Amino acid sequence: MAHITAKKYQAKLADDLCRKTHFSKPEVESLLRMFKKYIPGSANQPHTHHNSRMDRTKFRDVLHNSFDMTDDMLMDRIYRAFDTDSDGFVNMEEWVQGLSVFLRGTLDQQTQFCFAVFDLNQDGFISRDEMFQLLKNSLIKQPTEEDPDEGIKDLVEITLKKMDLDHDGRLSYQDYMEAVKNEPLLLEAFGPCLPSSWAKIAFLATFSEEC
Amino acid sequence: MGQTIARARKSASAADGGSKIAYNSANETLLNKIINWASTYSGAHPEESKLMFKSPMTWPSSLKIDDFSGGAFEQRGDDMVSTETIGTDNLPVIRFHKDSDGLYKLSVLTIADLGQVLNIAKDRRLEETRACLEANPDPLSHIAGDRFSSVSGEDLSTYRYMEEIMKSPREQVDEEAELKKLTLKLVMHVQKFDSDLLKEFAEAVASASRLTATLVEQDVNLLKEFCGDDEDKHVLEDIAFTTEHKFQNGCRSPPWRQINGDISYIEVKPHDEDPFFVTASTTGYFVNKGWIKEKNDLDYEPASDVNANLVELLKMKSAKFAELIVQQDLSMQEASKEDTQEKDAEREKELEQRRREEEQQRSKGRKDHKKHLEPTLTWIADEKEDRRRKAHMKEEEKKSPKTKHQKARMESRGKSKTPYEEDSFSESSSESEEEEEVLERRQESSSDLPSDYWQIQKLVKYLKGGNQTATIIALCAMRDFNLSQETIQMAIRDVGGLEVLINLLDTEDIKCKIGSLNILKYISKNAQIRRAIADLGGLQTMVKILRDPNKELKALAAETIANVAKFRRARRTVRQHGGIKKLVGLLDCAPLNSMSTPEHNKDVEVAKCGAMALWSCSKSTKNKKAMRKAGAIPLLARLLKSVHESMLIPVVGTLQECASEPSYRLAIRTEGMVEDLVANLKSENPELQMHCASAIFKCAEEKETRDLVKKYGGLHPMVNLLNNVDNKELLAAATGAIWKCAISAENVQKFQELKAIDLLVNLLNDQPEEVLVNVVGALGECAKDPPNRAQIRKAGGISPLVQLLTGTNQALLINVTRAVGQCAEEPDNMAIIDRLDGVRLLWSLLKNQNTEVQASAAWAICPCIENAKDAGEMVRSFVGGLELIVSLLKSEDQEVLASVCAAIANIAKDEENLAVITDHGVVPMLAKLTNTTDDRLRRHLAEAIARCCSWGNNRVSFGNEKAVAPLVYYLKSKDKQVHRSTARALFQLSKDPDNCITMHEAGVVKPLMEMVGSADTVLQEAAAGCISNIRRLALANEKAKFS
Q: How much is the pLDDT for B589?
A: 73
Mutate one of B476, B509, B514, B602 to test the A interface: name it (highest A CB count within 10 A): B476
pLDDT digits (tens, 9 = 90+) for B321-355: 777 777 665 555 555 555 555 556 666 666 666 66
A51-65, A101-115, B48-62, B454-468: the lowest-pLDDT one: B48-62
Q: How much is the pLDDT for B151?
A: 59
End-to-end CA distance of chain B: 109
Q: How much is the pLDDT for B543?
A: 92
Residue B170 pLDDT > 90, yes or no? no
Mutate one of A138, A186, A187 to test the B interface: name it (highest B CB count within 10 A): A138
Residue of B473, B511, B515 lying closest to A158 (CB–CB):
B473
Residue B511 pLDDT > 80, yes or no? yes
pLDDT band at B366 (very low <50, low <70, confident <90, very high): very low
Interface contact flag, B462 A137, Cβ < 8 Å? no
Q: How much is the pLDDT for B383?
A: 47
Interface contact flag, A140 B466, Cβ < 8 Å? yes
Give the E-state strand segments of B249-393 in sequence order: 262-269, 276-281, 284-292, 297-302
Q: A197 and chain B: CB distance < 8 Å anywhere? A: yes
- Return the higher-pLDDT residue of B934 and B82: B934
Q: How much is the pLDDT for B150?
A: 58
Chain B residues within an 8 Å CB radius of A154: 458, 462
A191-195, B13-17, B796-800: the lowest-pLDDT one: B13-17
Q: A142 and chain B: CB distance < 8 Å anywhere? A: yes
How close A137 gets to chain B, by Cα (Å)? Answer: 8
Q: Which of B557, B553, B530 lies closest to B541, judged by CA? A: B557
Nearest CA in chain A to B456: A158
pLDDT band at B901 (very low <50, low <70, confident <90, very high): very high
Interface contact flag, A162 B477, Cβ < 8 Å? yes
Residue percentage of chain B with pLDDT more than 70: 79
How close A30 gets to chain B, by Cα (Å)? Answer: 27
Q: Which of B950, B945, B939 lies closest to B981, judged by CA? A: B939
Residue B703 pLDDT > 80, yes or no? yes
Q: How much is the pLDDT for B187?
A: 78
CA B93 to chain CA centroid, nearest Å? 45
Q: A132 and chain B: CB distance < 8 Å anywhere? A: no
**Amino acid code (one letter) for B512:** C
Q: Which of B397, B494, B369 lies closest to B444, judged by CA? A: B494
Chain A residues within an 8 Å CB radius of B475: 185
Residue percentage of chain A with pLDDT more than 70: 86
Q: Which of B620, B613, B649 lies closest to B521, judged by CA? A: B613
Instruction: Judge contact between B860 and B820, C-beta under 8 A.
Output: yes
Q: How much is the pLDDT for B407?
A: 44
Q: How much is the pLDDT for B424?
A: 37
Residue B723 pLDDT > 90, yes or no? no
Q: A137 and chain B: CB distance < 8 Å anywhere? A: yes
Mean of pLDDT values over B947-965: 87
How close B518 gets to chain A, by Cα (Å)? Answer: 11
- Please classify residue B931 by burial: count the beta carbons closer than 10 Å to its beta carbon, then call 0-12 exposed, 13-18 middle and 19+ buried: exposed
d(CA B184, CA B158): 7
Chain B residues within an 8 Å CB radius of A134: 469
Interface contact flag, A140 B509, Cβ < 8 Å? no
Residue B16 pLDDT > 50, yes or no? no
Chain A residues within an 8 Å CB radius of B517: none
Q: A154 and chain B: CB distance < 8 Å anywhere? A: yes
Give the E-state strand segments of chain A in sequence order: 53-54, 90-91, 125-126, 171-172
Q: A106 and chain B: CB distance < 8 Å anywhere? A: no
Instruction: Judge contact between B607 and B585, C-beta under 8 A.
Output: no
Residue A56 pLDDT > 50, yes or no? yes
- Return the higher-pLDDT residue of B442 and A81: A81
Number of residues that make up chain B: 1043
Average pLDDT, chain B: 79
A53-67, B403-417, B598-612, B1003-1017: the lowest-pLDDT one: B403-417
How close B471 gets to chain A, by Cα (Å)? Answer: 9
Residue of A134, A139, A162 lying closest to B465 (CB–CB):
A139
Q: B920 and chain A: CB distance < 8 Å anywhere? A: no
Interface contact flag, A191 B469, Cβ < 8 Å? yes
pLDDT band at B421 (very low <50, low <70, confident <90, very high): very low
Q: A159 and chain B: CB distance < 8 Å anywhere? A: yes
Residue B436 pLDDT > 60, yes or no? no
Chain B residues within an 8 Å CB radius of A158: 459, 473-474, 477
Residue B1001 pLDDT > 70, yes or no? yes
Interface contact flag, B465 A189, Cβ < 8 Å? no
Q: How much is the pLDDT for B44?
A: 73
- Please classify residue A92 by burial: count the beta carbons closer than 10 Å to its beta carbon, then call 0-12 exposed, 13-18 middle and 19+ buried: buried
How close B495 gets to chain A, by Cα (Å)? Answer: 17
Residue B143 pLDDT > 90, yes or no? no
- Please classify residue B621 by burial: count the beta carbons closer than 10 Å to its beta carbon, then call 0-12 exposed, 13-18 middle and 19+ buried: middle
- Return the higher-pLDDT residue of B588 and A110: A110
Residue B214 pLDDT > 60, yes or no? yes
d(CA B292, CA B277): 11
Sign of torsion over alpha carbons B795, B800, B804, B805: positive
Residue B374 pLDDT > 70, yes or no? no
Q: How much is the pLDDT for B565?
A: 92
Residue B382 pLDDT > 60, yes or no? no
Q: How much is the pLDDT for B612?
A: 93
End-to-end CA distance of chain A: 27
Interface contact flag, A185 B461, Cβ < 8 Å? no
pLDDT digits (tens, 9 = 90+) for B623-667: 999 999 998 898 888 888 888 888 899 999 999 999 988 889 888
pLDDT band at B394 (very low <50, low <70, confident <90, very high): low
Instruction: Judge contact between B461 and A138, C-beta under 8 A.
Output: no
d(CA B61, CA B1003): 107
Query: φ, ψ for residue B245 (rounded to 5)?
Result: -70, 135
Residue A85 pLDDT > 70, yes or no? yes
Residue A190 pLDDT > 60, yes or no? yes
Interface contact flag, A139 B458, Cβ < 8 Å? no
Interface contact flag, B472 A188, Cβ < 8 Å? yes
Q: How much is the pLDDT for B24?
A: 65
Residue A27 pLDDT > 50, yes or no? yes
**Rounded to two decimals, what is the model's pTM?**
0.60
pLDDT digits (tens, 9 = 90+) for B853-899: 999 999 999 999 888 888 888 888 888 888 898 999 998 899 999 99
Chain B residues within an 8 Å CB radius of A191: 469
pLDDT digits (tens, 9 = 90+) for B247-278: 778 788 887 788 778 888 888 888 877 788 88
CA dihedral (B254, B255, B261, B262) in degrees, to 10, reads 10
Collect all residues with Cβ–Cβ distance below 8 Å to B798 and sequence separation of at least 6: B792, B823, B829, B832, B833, B836
Chain B residues within an 8 Å CB radius of A155: 462, 466, 470, 473-474
Interface contact flag, B476 A140, Cβ < 8 Å? no
d(CA B541, CA B546): 9
B206-210, B730-734, B871-875: the lowest-pLDDT one: B206-210
Q: B179 and chain A: CB distance < 8 Å anywhere? A: no
Q: How much is the pLDDT for A15?
A: 85
Number of Cβ pairs < 8 A linking chain A and chain B:
64
pLDDT digits (tens, 9 = 90+) for B983-998: 989 898 888 888 888 8
